[in-house]
Structure 1
Amino acid sequence: MRPAAWLRVAAVLTLIHAVLHTVGGVYGAQDPGPQTVAATAMKANTFVVFGNVRSFWTFYRGMGLVVTVLLTLEAVVFWLLGGLAKTEGVRLRPVVLVFAVGYVALAVVSWGHFFLGPVITELLIAACLGVAAPGLAGQRVSKSAAELLTR
């Protein structure tokens, strides 16, 4: 497959990751017992933060939604990079490699703090980006408008 296709696969996987994170993580129900007790305690205990009354639950839910927004933005960026891969591959390669390393780091964090589902998804995204990156090095760089006008 071409680098653009790998970037598009990474985009779809990242969007799936965002949706499942939101449905299962942010808005998922707690099982009865210890999970419900912990969630209730997080909701019940409020404190003032920079003049606003918040709870740990508010921070938990808010950070979950922040992750959803960031994953969705990354999915869009990967899709757009796929469209640019043919003409701007050489310039995109470092960006794609940074995201690949970042997704490996996310997988390590997920392994230590969450469960296998996100780890597998993040490693698949990293693999797609890692496979796309070497192919980007061979893509031609488009000429800028200034270069074209000076001929």
Structure 2
Amino acid sequence: MRRALADLVAGTVLLAGSVALIAMTAAADYKMGEGAAYDAGLMPRVWLTLAAACALVIAARGVASLRSAASGRLVAMSAPRLALAGGLVLAFVLGFVAVGYWIAVLLFVPAFATALGFRRPLTTLAVTVAFAAVTWVVFAELLGVRLMAWPGA
């Protein structure tokens, strides 16, 4: 299967799934009070909208590649790397509960980037700090979600 066709199919499937889940979370009544902080369906809809946008980009890349003659082959996925990524996500969830938000996220993001083969330490550091800060501001400050910042907090 050519990469361009794989991008088109994957993008279309991801887009359909994202749109279906957006519709499902919008139709369900997840409100537990007044305001955005009490709408449990808000953040899933935000992330699903981002996923739908990414799916559109993937599908568009597939269409553009299909039009050109230079389309590469699909790269085989590494099962051990996928298992490591899944294990890191589990470790993050457990670590978040045990050591708090800041320690868990500051350890998880660089570990995840390294596990996926990213080898630029300064870029990883910048992305880690930006991700941690933006996520904290969105959840703790804007939405009023109480996050355990440190162990015992």
TM-score range relative to shorter protein: 0.3 to 0.5
Task: Please state which structure has a larger fraction of its residues in helix.
Answer: 1
Larger radius of gyration: 1
Task: Please state which structure has a larger fraction of its residues in strand.
Answer: 1
When the two structures are superposed, what TM-score results if normalisation uses the length of structure 2?
0.39
| Greater RCO, 1 or 2 (C-alpha within 8 Å, sep 6+) | 1
